[in-house]
């Protein structure tokens, strides 16, 4: 019998499929990526025309590329886009010339500190062209003339992004966002896409309290476009999480929202601490991924960011070393598990009002103590009821109760269910 794959294996297989595609902030690479994700999730794909004003930005021209290379006098491709999409400066304008190496050097990008790695570089908003290559490749090039060709187009078109919505019991939304604009970088965007995809599939199997909206968009300009097109909708967004760098071997890192005290901040801090996983919780900075767009002061949404090793925090970041060997099924499965744990708490973390607030209500005559008789944690369950009654003042959520009492969140939530069933509290 063939082994049954787990979510980590499935996510890794998705990363493998997406890895060869040349993505950018616009273009057919983004569409191809969303088409593959669309095989696993029903997506609503949006095409926003070049020139559209989105907040303080304008949708740029669409970039597509078919081929690119640097060839020596014998016609041998010493730099070849077909070998890796990282070899071309992102958004390079078309060029086809022959030039000496001395002139070509101004258009070549390397990483001298890591001579075997190819850097990832872009020039989105300033017309330019260039190639990225390993320093050791450049060092081996003899002087002479080289044929340079970039077969690309930069023309009016569209910016493409997609959404997947899981209806909840209420219209209030949780937004989960990941960027789809990087080329062959396994951890910095593909792992986030994979975790978001399988998180959406897992949430759809239940009956979530909140409505969950997944946004697959190019970094920065994509999130800004979503916000511009949904300005009259963002008041429904109660919580949010940006997923990135979700598959490396580093410990989990949660970056707080700009507010610093949003409910998602409390939930992730609690879940990570309660799990016993090695982790870090960091303060917000206006640099990183699209949490800085969702948290910009005009919107001020409660959106944090979950990653493993964070933005620019590992040497392989934005280089060819961020490859399929840099991510693992186990790491992505761990990130997915934390997301599921966090959203389970978020979905259940509601506030209650004590309907018998004058003195302690008699629990025994309501059968609440008898209901605990078979529980191995009967004493904790009883304490949880008392704590919920004490803090059911409309100001404290169940997570507040769990943290103040030191009891497990699930124990507190079960106590709230019992008390609600007995008519002693109401949401």
The CATH number for 111's domain is 3.50.30.90
Domain boundary among 155, 171, 186: 155
Q: Are residues 86 and 129 in the same domain?
A: yes
Query: pLDDT by residue (tens digit) across 20-42?
Result: 999 999 999 999 999 999 999 99
Q: Are residues 323 and 300 in the same domain?
A: yes
Here the CATH number for the domain that contains residue 316 is: 3.40.630.10
Residue 307's pLDDT is: 98
Domain that holds residue 245: 21-60+158-348
**Whether pLDDT at 3 is above 90:** no
Q: Is residue 308 part of a domain?
A: yes
Into how many domains does the chain fold?
Answer: 3
DSSP string of 346-390, one letter each residue = HHH--EEEESS-SS---SGGGTTTGGGTT-TTHHHHHHHHHHHHH
Q: Are residues 55 and 85 in the same domain?
A: no
Q: Is residue 42 part of a domain?
A: yes
**Whether pLDDT at 304 is above 60:** yes
Q: Are residues 76 and 208 in the same domain?
A: no
pLDDT band for position 4 (50/70/90)?
very low
CB 236 within 8 A of CB 173: yes
Query: pLDDT by residue (tens digit) across 354-396?
Result: 999 999 898 888 888 765 555 566 788 889 999 999 999 999 9
Q: Is residue 406 part of a domain?
A: yes
CB 12 within 8 A of CB 327: yes
323 marked as part of a ligand binding site: no
Domain boundary among 132, 155, 178: 155
Q: Tell me what the pLDDT averaged over the chain comes to.
A: 95
Q: Residue 270: which residues within 8 A CB-CB, separation 6 or more?
A: 345, 399, 402, 403, 409
Model pTM score? 0.95
Query: pLDDT by residue (tens digit) across 206-215?
Result: 999 999 999 9
Q: Is residue 301 part of a domain?
A: yes
How much is the average pLDDT of 70-77?
97
Q: Please tell me the distance from the alpha carbon of residue 249 to that of residue 332, in angstroms, as a whole number.
A: 9
Q: Are residues 292 and 184 in the same domain?
A: yes
Q: Are residues 35 and 75 in the same domain?
A: no
96 marked as part of a ligand binding site: no
Query: pLDDT by residue (tens digit) across 151-202?
Result: 999 999 999 999 999 999 999 999 999 999 999 999 999 999 999 999 999 9
318 marked as part of a ligand binding site: yes
Residue 374's pLDDT is: 55
Q: Is residue 7 part of a domain?
A: no
**Whether pLDDT at 106 is above 80:** yes
Q: Are residues 306 and 409 in the same domain?
A: no
SS3 (DSSP) at 427: coil
Residue 222's pLDDT is: 98
Here the CATH number for the domain that contains residue 415 is: 1.10.10.10
Domain boundary among 318, 348, 378: 348
Residue 372's pLDDT is: 54
Q: Is residue 10 part of a domain?
A: no
C-alpha to C-alpha distances, 22 to 48, 64, 81, 344, 383, nearest whole angstrom: 20, 9, 10, 35, 56
Q: Please tell me the distance from the alpha carbon of residue 218 to that of residue 237, in angstroms, as a whole number.
A: 20
Q: Are residues 254 and 401 in the same domain?
A: no
Residue 257 exposure: Cα atoms within 13 Å on the Cβ side: 24
pLDDT band for position 1 (50/70/90)?
very low
Q: Are residues 207 and 338 in the same domain?
A: yes
- In this structure, of 2-16, 87-101, 229-243, the range with the lowest mean pLDDT score is 2-16
How much is the average pLDDT of 37-59?
98
Q: Please tell me the distance from the alpha carbon of residue 389 to that of residue 392, in angstroms, as a whole number.
A: 5
CB 103 within 8 A of CB 144: no
Strand 53-54 to 57-58 pairing: antiparallel
Q: Are residues 167 and 306 in the same domain?
A: yes
Percentage of residues in the chain having pLDDT higher than 90? 93
Q: Are residues 131 and 166 in the same domain?
A: no
Q: Are residues 26 and 149 in the same domain?
A: no
Nearest Cα neighbor of 371 from 361, 381, 356 is 381
Residue 24's pLDDT is: 98
* Element (DSSP H or E) covering residue 11: helix 7-18
Q: Is residue 13 part of a domain?
A: no
Q: Is residue 12 part of a domain?
A: no
The two three-digit tokens of residue 56, written as one number? 């303080």
């Amino acid at each position: 019998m063939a082994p049954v794959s787990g979510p980590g294996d499935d996510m890794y297989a998705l990363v493998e499929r997406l890895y060869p595609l040349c993505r950018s902030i616009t273009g057919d690479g983004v569409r191809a990526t969303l088409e593959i994700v669309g095989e696993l999730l029903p997506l609503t794909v949006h095409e926003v025309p070049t020139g559209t004003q989105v907040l303080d930005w304008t949708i740029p021209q669409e970039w597509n590329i078919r081929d690119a290379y640097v060839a020596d006098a014998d016609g041998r491709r010493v730099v070849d886009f077909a070998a890796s999409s990282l070899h071309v400066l992102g958004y390079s304008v078309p060029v086809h010339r022959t030039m000496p190496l001395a002139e070509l050097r101004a258009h070549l990008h390397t990483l001298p500190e890591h001579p075997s790695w190819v850097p990832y570089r872009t020039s989105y908003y300033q017309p330019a062209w260039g190639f990225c290559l390993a320093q050791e490749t450049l060092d081996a090039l003899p002087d002479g003339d080289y044929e340079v060709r970039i077969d690309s187009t930069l023309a009016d078109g569209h910016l493409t992004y997609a959404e997947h919505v899981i209806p909840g019991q209420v219209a209030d939304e949780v937004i989960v966002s990941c960027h789809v604009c990087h080329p062959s970088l396994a951890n910095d965007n593909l792992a986030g896409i994979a975790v978001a995809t399988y998180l959406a599939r897992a949430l759809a199997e239940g009956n979530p309290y909140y409505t969950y909206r997944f946004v697959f968009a190019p970094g920065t300009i994509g999130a800004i476009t979503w916000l511009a097109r949904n300005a009259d909708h963002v008041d429904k967004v109660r919580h949010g999480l940006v997923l990135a760098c979700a598959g490396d071997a580093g410990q989990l890192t949660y970056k707080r929202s700009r507010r610093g005290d949003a409910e998602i901040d409390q939930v992730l801090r609690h879940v990570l601490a309660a799990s016993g996983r090695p982790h870090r919780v960091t303060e917000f900075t206006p640099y990183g991924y699209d949490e800085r767009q969702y948290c910009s002061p005009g919107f001020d949404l409660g959106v944090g960011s979950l990653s493993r090793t964070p933005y620019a925090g590992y040497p392989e970041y934005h280089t060819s070393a961020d490859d399929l060997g840099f991510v693992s099924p186990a790491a992505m499965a761990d990130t997915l598990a934390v997301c599921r744990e966090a959203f389970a708490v978020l979905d259940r973390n509601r506030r209650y009002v004590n309907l018998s607030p004058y003195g302690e209500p008699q629990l025994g005559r309501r059968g609440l103590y008898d209901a605990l008789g078979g529980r191995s944690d009967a004493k904790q369950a009883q304490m949880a009821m008392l704590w919920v009654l004490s803090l059911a003042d409309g100001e404290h959520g169940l997570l507040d109760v769990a943290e103040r009492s030191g009891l497990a969140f699930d124990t507190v939530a079960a106590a709230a269910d019992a008390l609600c069933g007995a008519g002693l509290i109401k949401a």
